């Protein structure tokens, strides 16, 4: 069985997406649960619970629908499937009140690009203790960069709590307020 602190790769196979975007020393210092979630298998399935918040005015609800984001609700069951194809990952998050699908792949340089409908979010990843801090660098829509003033603030962190994978995401946009915030935990059910 390969050591999870150093993702397996042979001469022809590229490392998984997240290990390739973090320094090897930083990767080895992440919580084992974070390493497993972001580095193991071609298909990973996990389940848990999420608290989903967001403003309820018409514009926020409409934008959530366009981007296929879940609606607010407490204690929502969540199921996650990550499908990996080289350094491209498709994340399907099924909440009790909606489904969210995004594609993650390398961006420019050492950035991570997450595509969500017509929008691409470009993050730099940094280790913070035993967790990954996702720092939003820019946003593009239909391939065109948006002015930084329109990008708002995205706080995103993936770590571990009590042995489980923990996540905390909060997205706020100018003129809209809190588009979506979801936080909670996942346990890995199956990896193949």
The confidence score (pLDDT) of residue 7 equals: 45
Name the 3-class secondary structure at 148: helix
Residues 6+ apart with CB under 8 A from 151: 136, 138, 139, 173
Task: Give the tens place of pLDDT for each residue, 74-91.
Answer: 999 999 999 999 999 999
Task: Give the tens place of pLDDT for each residue, 4-38.
Answer: 444 444 445 668 999 999 999 999 999 999 999 99
Report in angstroms the alpha-carbon separations of 46 from 143, 159, 164.
31, 15, 10
The confidence score (pLDDT) of residue 93 equals: 97
Task: Give the tens place of pLDDT for each residue, 136-181.
Answer: 999 999 999 999 888 999 999 999 999 999 999 999 999 999 999 9
Q: Residue 149, class by beta-carbon neighbours within 10 Å (0-12 exposed, 13-18 middle, 19+ buried)?
A: exposed
Q: How many CB atoms lie within 10 A of CB 125?
A: 20
The confidence score (pLDDT) of residue 1 equals: 39
Q: Is the pLDDT of residue 68 over 80?
A: yes
Task: Give the tens place of pLDDT for each residue, 103-133.
Answer: 999 998 789 999 998 999 999 999 999 999 9
What domains sit in the chain, N to C, each tagged with a CATH number? 17-191 (2.40.128)
Q: What pTM value is reported for the model?
A: 0.89
The confidence score (pLDDT) of residue 4 equals: 44
Look at 185 and 6; give whichever has higher pLDDT. Answer: 185
The confidence score (pLDDT) of residue 13 equals: 60
Band of residue 42 on the pLDDT scale cut at 50, 70, 90:
very high
The confidence score (pLDDT) of residue 173 equals: 95
């Amino acid at each position: 069985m390969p050591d999870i602190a150093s993702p397996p790769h042979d001469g022809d196979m590229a490392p998984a997406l997240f290990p390739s975007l973090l320094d090897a020393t930083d990767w080895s210092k992440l919580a084992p649960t974070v390493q497993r979630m972001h580095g193991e298998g071609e298909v990973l399935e996990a389940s848990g619970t999420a608290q989903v918040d967001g403003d309820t005015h018409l514009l926020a609800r409409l934008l959530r629908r366009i981007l296929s984001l879940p609606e607010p609700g407490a204690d929502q069951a969540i199921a996650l499937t990550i499908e990996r194809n080289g350094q491209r990952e498709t994340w399907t998050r099924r909440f009790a009140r909606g489904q969210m699908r995004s594609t993650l792949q390398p961006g420019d340089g050492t950035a991570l690009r997450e595509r969500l409908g017509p929008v691409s979010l470009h993050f730099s990843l940094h280790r913070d203790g035993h967790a990954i801090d996702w720092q939003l660098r820019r946003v593009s829509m239909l391939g065109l960069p948006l002015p930084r003033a329109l990008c708002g603030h995205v706080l995103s962190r993936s770590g571990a709590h009590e042995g489980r994978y923990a996540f905390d995401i909060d997205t706020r946009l100018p003129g809209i307020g809190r588009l979506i915030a979801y936080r909670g935990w996942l346990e890995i059910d199956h990896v193949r």
